[in-house]
Amino acid sequence: SQQGEEDPQALSIQEGENATMNCSYKTSINNLQWYRQNSGRGLVHLILIRSNEREKHSGRLRVTLDTSKKSSSLLITASRAADTASYFCATVTGGGNKLTFGTGTQLKVEL
Protein backbone atom coordinates (compact mmCIF):
# COMPACT_ATOMS: atom_id res chain seq x y z
CA SER A 1 0.00 0.00 0.00
CA GLN A 2 1.07 3.59 -0.54
CA GLN A 3 2.38 5.34 2.55
CA GLY A 4 2.61 8.74 0.92
CA GLU A 5 0.32 10.89 -1.10
CA GLU A 6 1.84 13.63 -3.19
CA ASP A 7 0.41 16.91 -4.22
CA PRO A 8 0.03 18.11 -6.86
CA GLN A 9 -0.16 15.08 -9.16
CA ALA A 10 1.13 17.25 -12.01
CA LEU A 11 2.85 20.62 -12.14
CA SER A 12 3.79 22.73 -15.13
CA ILE A 13 6.02 25.77 -14.73
CA GLN A 14 8.30 28.02 -16.76
CA GLU A 15 12.06 27.71 -16.66
CA GLY A 16 13.49 29.85 -13.89
CA GLU A 17 10.46 29.49 -11.62
CA ASN A 18 10.46 27.53 -8.39
CA ALA A 19 8.65 24.20 -8.09
CA THR A 20 7.17 22.95 -4.84
CA MET A 21 5.90 19.42 -4.29
CA ASN A 22 4.29 18.13 -1.14
CA CYS A 23 4.16 14.69 0.41
CA SER A 24 1.97 13.44 3.25
CA TYR A 25 2.41 10.13 5.01
CA LYS A 26 0.49 8.12 7.56
CA THR A 27 2.79 6.52 10.14
CA SER A 28 5.87 7.49 12.15
CA ILE A 29 9.05 7.39 10.11
CA ASN A 30 12.80 6.91 10.50
CA ASN A 31 13.56 9.05 7.50
CA LEU A 32 11.98 10.42 4.34
CA GLN A 33 13.62 10.45 0.95
CA TRP A 34 12.95 12.09 -2.39
CA TYR A 35 13.64 10.39 -5.69
CA ARG A 36 13.49 11.52 -9.29
CA GLN A 37 12.43 9.41 -12.27
CA ASN A 38 12.92 10.42 -15.87
CA SER A 39 10.35 8.93 -18.21
CA GLY A 40 10.86 5.21 -18.69
CA ARG A 41 13.93 5.08 -16.48
CA GLY A 42 14.91 3.95 -12.99
CA LEU A 43 14.69 6.18 -9.95
CA VAL A 44 17.55 8.33 -8.72
CA HIS A 45 17.96 9.28 -5.07
CA LEU A 46 17.96 13.04 -4.48
CA ILE A 47 17.98 13.73 -0.76
CA LEU A 48 17.28 12.12 2.63
CA ILE A 49 15.94 13.87 5.71
CA ARG A 50 15.86 12.15 9.08
CA SER A 51 12.91 12.30 11.45
CA ASN A 52 14.81 14.60 13.83
CA GLU A 53 15.66 17.10 11.08
CA ARG A 54 13.41 19.91 9.91
CA GLU A 55 15.16 21.19 6.81
CA LYS A 56 17.87 20.08 4.45
CA HIS A 57 19.52 21.58 1.37
CA SER A 58 21.35 20.09 -1.58
CA GLY A 59 22.22 22.42 -4.42
CA ARG A 60 18.95 23.79 -5.80
CA LEU A 61 16.91 21.40 -3.66
CA ARG A 62 15.38 22.25 -0.31
CA VAL A 63 13.45 19.67 1.68
CA THR A 64 11.40 20.34 4.80
CA LEU A 65 9.88 17.83 7.19
CA ASP A 66 7.06 18.42 9.66
CA THR A 67 6.60 15.25 11.68
CA SER A 68 3.68 16.73 13.64
CA LYS A 69 1.76 17.10 10.37
CA LYS A 70 3.32 14.00 8.81
CA SER A 71 4.28 15.99 5.74
CA SER A 72 7.29 16.99 3.69
CA SER A 73 7.92 19.37 0.84
CA LEU A 74 10.50 19.47 -1.92
CA LEU A 75 11.41 22.84 -3.39
CA ILE A 76 13.39 23.07 -6.61
CA THR A 77 14.65 26.61 -7.13
CA ALA A 78 15.41 28.22 -10.48
CA SER A 79 14.04 25.25 -12.39
CA ARG A 80 15.48 24.11 -15.70
CA ALA A 81 13.98 22.15 -18.57
CA ALA A 82 16.22 19.25 -17.51
CA ASP A 83 14.32 19.08 -14.19
CA THR A 84 11.31 17.70 -16.10
CA ALA A 85 10.64 14.33 -14.46
CA SER A 86 8.46 12.59 -11.90
CA TYR A 87 9.36 13.12 -8.24
CA PHE A 88 8.52 10.62 -5.52
CA CYS A 89 8.75 10.76 -1.76
CA ALA A 90 9.50 7.54 0.10
CA THR A 91 9.49 6.74 3.79
CA VAL A 92 11.48 4.35 5.93
CA THR A 93 9.70 3.01 8.97
CA GLY A 94 10.27 0.40 11.66
CA GLY A 95 13.15 -1.98 10.99
CA GLY A 96 14.33 0.10 8.06
CA ASN A 97 14.73 -2.45 5.27
CA LYS A 98 11.92 -1.11 3.12
CA LEU A 99 10.88 2.07 1.37
CA THR A 100 7.23 2.93 0.89
CA PHE A 101 6.71 5.26 -2.05
CA GLY A 102 4.21 8.01 -2.62
CA THR A 103 2.19 8.39 -5.78
CA GLY A 104 4.51 10.96 -7.35
CA THR A 105 4.35 14.43 -8.88
CA GLN A 106 4.94 14.87 -12.60
CA LEU A 107 6.88 18.08 -13.12
CA LYS A 108 7.15 19.72 -16.52
CA VAL A 109 9.45 22.69 -16.92
CA GLU A 110 8.85 24.59 -20.13
CA LEU A 111 11.29 26.84 -21.93
Partner 1 sequence: SQTIHQWPATLVQPVGSPLSLECTVEGTSNPNLYWYRQAAGRGLQLLFYSVGIGQISSEVPQNLSASRPQDRQFILSSKKLLLSDSGFYLCAWSVGGQGGNIQYFGAGTRLSVL
Question: Smaller CB distance to partner 1: residue 79 or 91?
Answer: 91
Instruction: Return the bridge partners of 36, or none.
Output: 44, 87
Tallying the residues shown for the chain, one arrives at 111
With binding defined as CB under 8 A, does residue 101 bind partner 1? yes
Cα–Cα dist 8/11, whole Å: 6
Q: Considering the rule CB under 8 A, would residue 20 count as an interface residue with partner 1?
A: no
Residue (47 or 75) nearer to partner 1, CB: 47
Kindly compute the dihedral angle of the four CA atoms of residues 31, 75, 9, 11, in this order, to the nearest 10 degrees: -170
- The site for partner 1 (CB under 8 A) is made up of 2, 4, 30-31, 33, 40-45, 48, 50, 88, 90, 92, 96-104, 106
